[in-house]
Structure 1
Amino acid sequence: MTCNFSRRQFLVYGSATFATSLLLKACSSNQTQTPTATSGDAGFKIAIALPGVITDQAWNQSGYEGVNLAKQQLNAEVAYVEQVAQADQTEVLTDFARKGYNLVFAHGGQFDAAIEQVAPQFPKTFFVGVNGNLQGENIASLRIDHLQGSYLCGIIGASVTKSNKLAYIAGQEFPATQDELRGFELGAKSVKPNIQIVSTFTGDWNDVAKAKEATLALISADVDVIYQWLDSASAAVLQTASDKNIYAFGNTKDQLDVAPQAVLTSAVKRLDIAISYLAELVKNQQITGQIYKIGLERPDILTLGKFGVAANEKIQQNALQVKQEIIDKKITFENCQDAGKTTRCVKKATA
């Protein structure tokens, strides 16, 4: 069974004294209509809190697909809440734990503070922050190694730019987006050391108007390649790039089809597979309180998408060769100090 609660509906049920009967009634009347829906195993329940909508063709959809993959593979009962505002995060996570969910995914690094507040109160529930930076007795974080994927995109971007000015757009600034920005910068500078990388954070992953405005502002400042990480607003960046005859990168999903003339490739992150993998660890009581970082060594989870027309054969082969060198650990990324900040730097193996 997959239960879909609107934020308002969920919070009302959470505060009612007869919460259990209402919750069951809600599940019965609001279950997702999919051909593969099953009643699930009442002994293992998974929930996910999502900051956006499950139809965004990006981050939130991948999280939703993850718990549904876990439902199929583990015969679990799953539930989700969409469009969880920052102010409601603590209450949504608390209500899932009170209702006996064994595993709660918080889908975004912006949930870290809420997890840190709620998890100690519910030691029988395991919390996983996707893109988080926390670890504890009943807390783990799932981190795709965004830096590895963006490093490859930086190489590609530097190979096609004419203005030597690239940009990164994301919804919020936190460790995962900082990592991705750093990788994009390192990759680009490995090709052109004096290339310029600028960044902007719109403050909203789904606001189409803000995304378009930010894209146009960057283009007016001579940026001709944009790496974006947004949710529902990602298409606005890609389509604006196409309209203005510049290049861009897809993210999370393979987004070449959104703007075929503009998209060079995509940093494809199969969060559905990663989420199901961690869910299996929890069910088998094999999970520990740590940060699980998954990189290019798992091509079923992190890889490059289809290449666009502007990424010629030479550019493709170079990117794929570097990808293999990262997998083979001939190129690694180690903690370092740069401009007074702790970050990651490239280290190449000596012959």
Structure 2
Amino acid sequence: MALLLVLAACAGSDTTETTEAEPTGTTAAEAPATTASPATTAAAEPFRVALIYPGTAEDLSWSNAWYDGAQAAVAANPAIALETVDLINDVDAAVAQGAAFAAEGYDFIFIAHGGLVDAAIQLAEQFPDTPVCLAPHQPESTDGQAANLCWVEIDQHHANFFTGVIAGLATETNQIAAVNGFEFPALTRQPETFYLGARCVNPDITFSQEYINSWVDTGLAKAATQALIAGGADIVMGATDSAVLGVIEGAAEAGAWAIPSYFDSYEIAPETVLTTAVHGLQFAGQDVIERAFRGELEPLITYNAVNNPGLSAAPLYANESALTADQLAIFQGIEQQVRNGEIVIPDETTGDITVGSVGSG
């Protein structure tokens, strides 16, 4: 049903770093408490947060965005101390790192890696007094899960849908493509809804994609991008971490457009980056950490294009001529329909129609 609503509406329209900072006075909205004990603001000890992610704090992609959100929480709340761990990409490594932090008495373990669900579950069960959250993930049910475990679902693919609309309007070959990290629902939904967004405005569009099974291998990403462009694609979306630099390089050398994800990447290559699928990770990262600090975590916290303004297609900047005024108006109309709920984008795992498997878009 959700897919039909989309199309019907479219037819009508491993290093660590510890940080403490000065306050800036910005906090996120409060929410009902269910899973954590509130921090004692009068305590001499800081509220210690461990953030674990697959890339690095300066990769201009997924991990960078989460790091920036966490830094915003630190800046707004001087009692919060942050430590980060880079390049964690398997369950055993995540459990080892998280267990070390929990044993040391850290107040909150936050894993920003949708492929490490089992690690979050193990840590929550092993350390029942330590809140553990993982993003992104949406379970079928939170019934029976550990009381200190929370999931953070970010409907990232809403941003990919927006950029797909732009790609469907801007393509000159009617062929678009994607270079992706690993195949699992929270990732797969991104290229699939990129394609869905393009179909929304261009019924003649064709789509191809390649999974490189890496977050950081720029050479693999570049080679995949070059092959997709050789096959006719003139716009390539990247759904991976720092490996996206290979997507941008491959597109630049071929004179094609690149659409990175997670972190506004225009400044990397202004003549190549058409837009970016910005997933609102900074907003979510700050909000989740501040919820944990206030003791107001929930079993499932959800962000989408309705309640997270950071979920967006980045501005076209100097590349605005890639769309005509009429095409820009079409995009803006569709974006508004998504944000007000008129267009419902399918979820990756729940609902009658889902976009979490390859080919589902």
TM-score (norm: length of structure 2): 0.79
Structure 1 SS opposite 2:275:
strand
| Structure 1 alignment gaps of length 5 or more | 8-29, 346-351
Find 1:59's aligned residue among 57, 62, 86. Answer: 62
2:206 & 2:359 partners in 1: Cα distance? Answer: 18
Contact 1:227 1:248 in 2 (8 A): yes
Judged with a 3 Å threshold, the aligned counterparts in structure 2 of structure 1 residues 293 and 312 are, in CA distance, closer, same or farther, namely farther
Q: Which residue is equivalent to 2:148?
A: 138
- Residue aligning to 1:103: 108
2:134, 2:150 within 8 Å by CA — same for their partners in 1? Answer: yes
Contact 1:41 1:76 in 2 (8 A): no
Segment of structure 1 superposing worse, 90-99 or 328-337:
328-337
2:87 aligns with one of 83, 86, 93: 83
Q: Structure 1 residues 46 and 112 mapped into 2: Cα distance closer, same or farther (>3 Å)?
A: same
CA shift in 2, pair 1:91/1:268, >3 Å: same
Counterparts of 2:263 and 2:356 in 1: how far apart (Å)?
Answer: 34
Structure 1 pair 235–119 and aligned structure 2 pair: CA distance change class (3 A): same
Residue 338 to residue 127, structure 1, CA distance change in 2 (3 Å): closer
Cα deviation per residue 1:69-96 (whole Å; 9 max; x = unaligned)? 2222232121111122414121011111
Corresponding position of 1:282: 292
Residues 6-17 of structure 1: pairs in structure 2 closer than 5 A: 6=15
Q: Distance in 2 between matches of 1:112 and 1:60?
A: 17
Q: Which has the higher strand share?
A: 1
Asked if the contact 1:333/1:344 (under 8 Å) is kept, the reply is: no
Contact 2:280 2:308 (C-alpha < 8 Å) held by counterparts:
no
What CA deviation, in whole Å up to 9, does each residue of 1:139-173 have, x standing for no partner?
Answer: 22223212211111111111122332211212112
In structure 1, give the amino acid aligned to 2:69: G
Q: What SS class does the counterpart of residue 325 from structure 1 fall into?
A: helix
1:82 partner amino acid: D
1:206 maps to 2:216: yes
The alignment partner of 2:117 has SS state of helix
* Partners of 1:328 and 1:340 in 2: CA distance: 23
RMSD between aligned residues: 2.8
How far did residue 312 of structure 1 move? 3.5
Say which SS state the counterpart of residue 252 (structure 1) adopts. Answer: coil
1:276-334: CA deviation from partner (whole Å, max 9, x where unpaired)? 211222222222211x2212224542122121242343332221211111111111134
Looking at structure 2, the residues matched to 268 and 182 of structure 1 have their Cα atoms a distance apart, in angstroms, of: 16
Task: Letter of the 1:149 partner, please give it.
Answer: A
Aligned residue pairs: how many?
Answer: 316
What does 1:145-294 correspond to in 2, within 5 Å? 145-290=155-300, 292-294=301-303
**1:249–1:267 CA contact under 8 A, matched in 2:** yes
C-alpha change, 1:340 and 1:61, in structure 2 (3 Å) is closer
Shift of the 217–318 alpha-carbon distance from structure 1 to 2, 3 Å rule, reads same
- Kept in 1: contact 2:178–2:210 (CA 8 A): yes
The answer as to whether partners of 1:63 and 1:272 remain within 8 angstroms in 2 is: yes
**Is contact 2:66–2:282 with CA below 8 Å preserved after alignment?**
yes
Q: Distance in 2 between matches of 1:140 and 1:342?
A: 27
Match of 1:315 among 314, 320, 327: 327
**Seq. identity, %:** 24
Change (3 A) 1:251 1:340: closer
Counterpart for residue 341 of structure 2: 329
Q: Report Cα offsets for 1:10-55 as digits up to 9, x if no partner.
A: xxxxxxxxxxxxxxxxxxxx756x9759xx9625211111211111
User: What letter matches 1:230 in structure 2?
Assistant: T
Q: Does the 8 Å CA contact 2:53/2:112 hold for their aligned counterparts?
A: yes
Distance 1:131-1:117 versus aligned 2 partners, 3 A rule: same
Provide the secondary structure at the position in 1 that maps to 2:102: helix
Structure 1: which 4+ aligned runs deviate by more than 4 Å? Answer: 34-37, 338-345
Long gaps (5+) in structure 2: 1-13, 24-42
| AA in 1 matched with 2:161 | Y
Alpha-carbon distance in 2 for matches of 1:200, 1:128: 30
In the alignment, the residues of structure 1 paired with residue 208 and residue 360 of structure 2 have an alpha-carbon distance, to the nearest angstrom, of: 18
Q: Which moved more, 1:40-49 or 1:333-342?
A: 333-342
Contact persistence 1:239–1:258 (CA under 8 A): no
1:97-145 CA-to-partner distances (Å, cap 9, x unmatched) read: 1111221111111221211222111111111112234553222222321
Residues 6 and 235 (structure 1), Cα distance of their counterparts in 2 relative to 1, 3 Å cut: closer
Following the alignment from structure 1 to structure 2, what is the Cα–Cα distance between the partners of residues 201 and 44? Answer: 39
Distance of 1:260 and 1:252 partners within structure 2: 17
The aligned counterpart of 2:304 is: 295
